[in-house]
């Protein structure tokens, strides 16, 4: 299936499809996913929305586009892939477990930025908890490919005896690491999740209120994974670095609101000079997020003041 949208998909229709969509009976676990590739014609960055995103996610002002903002712009197209008629799995209950994003050339200027997007289904693998599959997204300007991301999702199900270990799927839970230095402390309030939901158009009920989260078996409202990813990316690197970079976020335990969490820099067991951050709860006994810089032209140590409390 291939289709090009002249403008962004209508989110009300997309969410209606998501609620009604069920797993197709003809789809058997182990089958390959169908070819679904959607494109969106060029759209301009809305500067007011970008300014709100920077403020909410504590991203310093810059002339360049933040690393994860193209994913905000592409979210309606990603949802259109998941709700496409040929997509065989139910959408409700999908879990975002990992996200990789990278600039394919130095970050583009935000002013006057116009991007076209392409989204398609990527690789599929079986794990102990169910099926992992990817949505691959690319952004283009007039000069070609400028940005790419891979969003890995989990569809919970029993997969029989063909389970792939998480290590083989590239989704390991831990490494030989040592917490080195606390960079920031975040105070996260429930209203922040609702503000991000409106900004990103990710209106999943688990992010809105305690009562709506309980409908999906969560005790409390859950913060968006891409919100904490954006804030940790801002601590890991600067928009003004000017180099190409690839950053991976691994989402661990759900972050229930309200919350006080601590962001640490971490020493890796290998000789790698690339930085890694971990987001823990206030008692440092529950890991919520791992953020790693995988490649970079410029490596920059986090510049935030130690033990700084940051609120939004």
pLDDT digits (tens, 9 = 90+) for 157-207: 877 644 444 444 444 444 445 666 878 999 999 999 999 999 999 999 999
More confident residue, 1 or 86: 86
Same fold, 1-171 and 173-312: yes
Q: Which whole number is the average pLDDT over 26-31?
A: 76
pLDDT of residue 171: 46
Identify the bridge partners of residue 308 per DSSP, sorted by sequence position: 184
Can you tell me the mean pLDDT for 287-296?
88
Average pLDDT, stretch 142-166? 79
Please tell me what DSSP assigns to residue 205: G
Measured between alpha carbons, how far is 164 from 125 in angstroms, rounded to an integer?
7
* pLDDT 10s digits, 29-86: 778 899 999 999 999 999 999 999 999 999 988 888 999 999 999 999 999 999 999 9
Q: What is the reported pLDDT for 6?
A: 80
Position 176 scores a pLDDT of: 46
How is residue 62 written in tokens? 């810059």
Q: Tokens standing for 191?
A: 């209203």
pLDDT of 147 strictly over 60: yes
Whether 99 has a pLDDT exceeding 80, the answer reads yes
The pLDDT value recorded for residue 22 is 82
Assess contact for 56 and 196: CB atoms under 8 A: yes
What pLDDT was estimated at residue 32?
87
183 phi-psi bin (left φ>0, alpha ψ -120 to 50, beta other): alpha
Residue ranges of alpha helices (H) inside 25-144 are 47-56, 69-82
Output the average pLDDT for the chain. Answer: 84
Mean pLDDT, residues 10-20 taken together: 90
Report the alpha-carbon distance of residue 121 to residue 84 in Å, rounded. 11
Report how far Cα 69 is from the mean position of its chain's Cα atoms: 10
Q: Mean pLDDT over residues 274-285, rounded?
A: 91
The predicted pLDDT at position 267 comes to 74
pLDDT at 239: 40
- pLDDT at residue 28 in the model: 78
| pLDDT above 90 coverage of the chain, percent | 57
What are the sequence ranges of the domains in the chain? 1-171, 173-312
Assess contact for 254 and 218: CB atoms under 8 A.
Answer: yes
User: Rounded to an integer, what is the distance from CA 22 to the centroid of its chain?
Assistant: 24
Q: Are 115 and 139 in contact (CB under 8 A)?
A: yes
Q: Which residue is associated with the tokens 């690491």?
A: 177
On the question of pLDDT at 298 being above 70, the answer is no
Which helix (H) or strand (E) segment holds residue 231: the answer is helix 225-236
Cα gap 36→2, rounded to integer Å: 6
CB-CB contact of 219 with 41 (8 Å): no
User: Model's pTM, two decimal places?
Assistant: 0.85
Return the CATH fold of 173-312: Thiol Ester Dehydrase; Chain A (3.10.129)
Superfamily of domain 1-171: Hotdog Thioesterase (3.10.129.10)
Task: Name the percent of the chain lying above pLDDT 70.
Answer: 84
Higher-confidence residue: 279 or 107? Answer: 279
* pLDDT for 295: 74
pLDDT band, very low/low/confident/very high, at 274 (cuts 50, 70, 90): confident
Q: For residues 22 and 83, what is the distance between their CA atoms, to the nearest angstrom?
A: 10
Q: Which of 202-211, 241-250, 253-262 has the lowest mean pLDDT?
A: 241-250
| Both tokens assigned to 176 | 């030989």
């Amino acid at each position: 299936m291939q289709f090009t949208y002249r403008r962004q998909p209508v989110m009300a229709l997309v969410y209606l499809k998501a609620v009604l969509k069920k797993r197709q009976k003809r789809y058997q676990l182990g089958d390959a996913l169908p070819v679904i590739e959607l494109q969106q014609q060029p759209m301009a960055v809305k500067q007011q929305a970008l300014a709100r995103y920077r403020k909410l996610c504590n991203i310093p002002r810059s002339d360049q586009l933040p690393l994860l903002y193209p994913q905000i712009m592409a979210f309606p197209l990603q949802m259109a892939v998941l709700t496409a008629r040929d997509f065989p799995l139910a959408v409700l209950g999908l879990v975002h477990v990992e996200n990789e994003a990278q600039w394919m050339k130095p970050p583009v200027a935000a002013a006057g930025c116009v991007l076209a997007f392409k989204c398609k289904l990527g690789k599929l693998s079986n794990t102990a908890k169910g099926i992992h599959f990817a949505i691959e997204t690319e952004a283009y300007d007039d000069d070609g490919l400028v940005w790419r991301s891979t969003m890995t999702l989990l569809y919970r199900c029993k997969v029989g005896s063909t389970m792939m270990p998480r290590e083989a799927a590239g989704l390991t839970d831990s490494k030989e690491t040592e917490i080195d230095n606390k960079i920031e402390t975040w105070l996260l309030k429930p209203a922040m999740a609702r503000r991000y939901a409106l900004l990103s158009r990710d209106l999943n009920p688990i992010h809105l209120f305690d009562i709506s989260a309980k409908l999906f078996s969560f005790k409390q409202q859950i913060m968006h994974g891409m919100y904490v990813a954006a804030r940790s990316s801002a601590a890991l690197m600067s928009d003004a670095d000017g180099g190409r970079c690839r950053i991976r976020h691994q989402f661990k335990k759900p972050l229930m609101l309200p919350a006080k969490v601590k962001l640490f820099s971490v020493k890796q067991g290998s000789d790698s000079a690339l930085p890694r951050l971990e987001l823990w709860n206030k008692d440092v006994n529950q890991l919520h997020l791992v953020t790693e810089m995988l490649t970079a032209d410029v490596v920059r140590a986090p510049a935030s003041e130690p033990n700084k409390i940051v609120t939004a």
